[in-house]
């Protein structure tokens, strides 16, 4: 982000923050609306099912719901690391290590949405999602060596 801010100016960082707040709002509202729709469809009001019931050895629809739940908790970790990045000396030094979680979250959310989401059946959204997914996969592959050294250093600290 620092390279982009130096090249293009401070508006890039403000856009990054604004975009992050908007996306996080969608992330929080998505399971809340899922829980409310379950309630109104007569399946009961069960926050435990929506937020915490993770199943890794189950049939595909439930497995992909679980990927969404895991993504929800991982993105909460990344967001709170960003919010408290200046709160303590540890967070000041290590908040970027938590921010890397967003790459994994994007991949998991992509799988969750592709197999459970109805938006992927709409051609323009499907095309946009595939292009975005390929860009993120390319970025991860390009940054893989630095991510490995990042993780190695993190495990040492």
pLDDT tens for 72-118 read 999 999 999 888 888 888 888 888 778 888 889 999 999 999 999 88
Spell out the domain ranges in the chain: 2-156
Encoded tokens for 127:
């095309």
pLDDT for 1 equals: 62
Residue 44 sits at φ, ψ, to 5 deg, of 90, 170
pTM comes to 0.82
Half-sphere exposure of 77 (CA within 13 A, CB side): 17
Per-residue pLDDT of the chain (157 residues; tens, 9 = 90+): 677 777 787 888 889 889 999 999 999 999 999 999 989 999 888 888 888 888 888 888 899 999 999 999 999 999 998 888 888 888 888 887 788 888 899 999 999 999 998 888 899 999 999 999 999 999 888 887 777 787 777 777 6
d(CA 157, CA 154): 5
d(CA 90, CA 124): 43
């Amino acid at each position: 982000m620092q390279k982009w801010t130096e090249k293009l100016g401070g508006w890039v960082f403000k856009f990054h923050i604004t975009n992050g707040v908007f996306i996080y709002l969608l992330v929080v509202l998505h399971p809340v609306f899922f829980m409310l729709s379950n309630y109104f469809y007569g399946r009961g009001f069960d926050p435990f099912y929506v937020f915490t019931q993770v199943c890794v050895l189950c049939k595909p629809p439930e497995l992909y719901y679980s990927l969404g739940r895991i993504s929800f908790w991982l993105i909460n970790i990344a967001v709170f690391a960003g919010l408290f990045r200046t709160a303590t000396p540890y967070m000041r030094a290590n908040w970027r290590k938590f921010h890397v979680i967003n790459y994994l979250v994007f991949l998991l959310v992509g799988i969750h949405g592709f197999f459970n989401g109805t938006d992927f059946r709409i051609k323009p959204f499907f095309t946009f999602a595939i292009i975005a997914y390929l860009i993120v996969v390319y970025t991860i592959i390009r940054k893989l060596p630095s991510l490995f050294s990042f993780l190695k250093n993190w495990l040492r600290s």
